[in-house]
């Protein structure tokens, strides 16, 4: 029996999504705070790139189109919500990728 390649297409379309991404993502587990309008919620950053991040919210909350994410030791970042499902959300940073890479002190590949 042949081994299944990690790069093989999956039925849920994740491979096509990965191919559309402009920036390589890294897995992280960082606590953060998310502000949407006048509401705040704690969240966990689970993956990160120079273009955006995937967040797990501590409580379900309907997010507005623009948010601010504060990640301890790295700063506060303005972002746009790209998608949201229950207590998970994907955001796109408003700043240029080079500025995001600089803010994370070389942790992110451009």
Q: Is residue 56 assigned to a domain? A: yes
pLDDT averaged over the chain? 84
Global pTM reads: 0.79
Q: Taking 80 as the threshold, does the pLDDT of residue 24 lie above it? A: yes
Cβ neighbors of 106 (< 8 A, separation 6 or more) are none
Give the model's pLDDT for residue 9.
35
Measured CA to CA, the distance from residue 102 to residue 45 in angstroms comes to: 18
Instruction: Specify if 11 maps to a domain.
Output: no
Q: Is residue 61 part of a domain?
A: yes
Q: Confirm whether 99 is domain-assigned.
A: yes
What is the DSSP code (8-state) at residue 3? P
Please answer whether residues 49 and 108 qualify as being in contact, where contact means their C-beta atoms are separated by less than 8 angstroms. yes
Per the structure, the complete domain to which residue 73 belongs is given by 23-103
Question: pLDDT category, 23, cuts 50, 70, 90?
Answer: confident
9: in domain:
no
Q: pLDDT: is 96 or 109 the higher one?
A: 96
């Amino acid at each position: 029996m042949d081994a299944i390649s990690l790069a093989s297409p999956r039925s849920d379309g994740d491979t096509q999504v990965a191919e559309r991404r402009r920036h390589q993502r890294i897995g992280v587990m960082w606590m953060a705070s998310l502000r949407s309008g006048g509401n705040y919620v704690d969240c966990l950053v689970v993956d990160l790139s120079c273009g955006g991040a995937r967040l797990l919210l501590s409580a379900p909350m309907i997010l507005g189109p623009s948010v601010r994410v504060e990640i301890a030791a790295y700063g506060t970042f303005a972002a746009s919500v790209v998608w949201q499902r229950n207590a998970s959300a994907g955001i796109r940073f408003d700043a240029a990728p080079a500025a995001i890479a600089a803010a994370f002190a070389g942790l992110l590949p451009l």
